[in-house]
Amino acid sequence: MISALTNRGRLAFMLFDSSFTEDVFLDFLQVLVRLVKRRIFLIVDRHKVHHSKKVKRWLRAHRDQVRLHFLPAYSPHLNLDELLNQDVKSNALGRQRPSNKEEMVDGVRSCLRSTQRQQQLVQRFFREENVRYAAA
């Protein structure tokens, strides 16, 4: 799962069945560019994909559309996506154990779609003490 949250209460996500690669990240960035009609500022962790040559090349070509800002090394407490991940684990997977991969993916997708429809819930993530920096 990859996701992006805005302080205005929007959530974009993508589920994928492979490893997190440059191509997966670039597919997600292209979706974001199509969805958001203004400049995108993404706060990302320091995953190697975010620093790859292919991603850097794409970002240079789209510098008017997307800018990445990096979290300090190993700082999951500052990462908004970790709050969403915890919410999904608690609400999609914690209440009932899926018996197979298909049920798990369906549960995660359903939970994320429900969260997408609740702007105030997405905005609430930004009120957590360690991630308030991203609310401005």
pLDDT, tens only, 6-24: 999 999 999 999 999 999 9
Backbone angles phi, psi at 19, to 5 degrees: -70, 160
For the chain, what are the domain ranges?
Answer: 2-135
Q: pLDDT tens across 20-70, in order?
A: 999 999 999 999 999 998 999 999 999 999 999 999 999 999 999 999 999
pTM above 0.85, yes or no: yes
Question: Is domain 2-135 given the CATH code 3.40.718.10 in the classification?
Answer: no
